[in-house]
Amino acid sequence: MAQRYGGKYSPDGSDDLDTDQFTPPAYKGARVEPAGARSNVLFVPGIVLAFMSINDGAVGMATGLLGAGALIAGAWLLREGLKAESAYAERKVARRPGFPRKIFAAVLCGIGAGIAAWRSEAGLIAPLIFGGAASALHLGAFGIDPMKDKGMEGIDTFQQDRVARVVDEAESYLEGMADAVRRAGDRQVESRVERFASKAREMIRTVEEDPRDLTAAKKYLGVYLMGARDAAVKFSDIYARKPDRAARSDFMMLLTDLEESFDQKTDKLLLDSNADLTVEIDVLRDRLQREGVHLGRR
């Protein structure tokens, strides 16, 4: 469906923001889709093998479909593994994936290639060679899953689990907002929601790095984001039926207020963290002075 382009110099592009106020570009905080074309293309061999097996009789068709299923399942596992690896790399504090998706994807790719080779050349040598080569090439092209935790030294795992649950809930609300506004078909609104999501994710990263901030930020990452998601759904329902400039302006103002609120709260969380560090340093200095070690203040 064609969409009307909206931007700063469009006829209706400056009704919701002050032109004198600096606004960050829409691409700030944008994330590249980790599962790109090079992973999607791995679905093709499985589909081709399935079609080629239809006229091979009962045994040949069953064998071909088994190999096709292994190839397609491997391609799907690879997509999920790349997404998990991207999330792991994006965060400063992260646990290794509980299930090594990319490694199992390589194994399934090798099994599928081995079955495909066995269909054309009976025996074990050719399937083992082709299957092993496919698995090795798969690992060489996409690598393996992260095998160790990152930044978890001194972190309370129970508290980190609580943070993970809140973060997953917050991400689901942000994804729900993005899905809802796409139905409205307004590019400027979509860009505005992406910018707000980037601001919300700054708070998410702050809480992940210091789980002690969870209590202070839980209302923002839960109640406020849920309300924003519900508002996006209602706006899209109204705007998809009939473009309403008043509803659009109200929704954009809501996003502006939310973004300012999240920005102020994130800054406060960072200031509180600095204050905690200052307290720890002062306590350590006092303890050292009681032990007879005098440090000059800078």
More confident residue, 197 or 283: 197
Cα–Cα distance between 297 and 288 in angstroms, integer? 13
In a domain, 21, yes or no: no
Cα–Cα distance between 173 and 170 in angstroms, integer? 5
Q: Are 222 and 189 in a shared domain? A: yes
Residue 14 is predicted with a pLDDT of 47
**What is the rounded average pLDDT for all residues in the chain?**
79
Asked if 15 contacts 189 with a C-beta cutoff of 8 angstroms, the reply is no
Range in 15-29, 43-57, 263-277 with the lowest mean pLDDT: 15-29
**Which residues span the domain enclosing 105?**
37-142
Asked if 193 contacts 255 with a C-beta cutoff of 8 angstroms, the reply is yes
Query: What secondary structure letter does DSSP report for 1?
Result: -
Single-letter residue type at 116:
A
Q: Are 162 and 286 in a shared domain? A: yes
Q: Are 170 and 248 in a shared domain? A: yes
Over residues 10-15, the mean pLDDT reads 49
Q: How confident is the model at residue 135 (pLDDT cuts 50, 70, 90)?
A: very high
Beta strands in 40-142 (DSSP E): none
In a domain, 30, yes or no: no
Q: Are 137 and 175 in a shared domain? A: no
In a domain, 295, yes or no: no
Q: Are 282 and 170 in a shared domain? A: yes
Q: Is the pLDDT of residue 160 over 80?
A: no
Query: What secondary structure letter does DSSP report for 211?
Result: G
Q: Are 113 and 186 in a shared domain? A: no
Residue 217 is predicted with a pLDDT of 80
Residue 20 is predicted with a pLDDT of 42
Domain stop point among 142, 167, 202: 142
In a domain, 11, yes or no: no
Q: Is 133 exposed, middle or buried (0-12, 13-18, 19+ CB in 10 A)?
A: middle
Q: Are 283 and 185 in a shared domain? A: yes
Domain total in the chain:
2
Q: Which two tokens stand for residue 292?
A: 């007879």
Domain stop point among 142, 176, 198: 142
Q: Are 104 and 193 in a shared domain? A: no
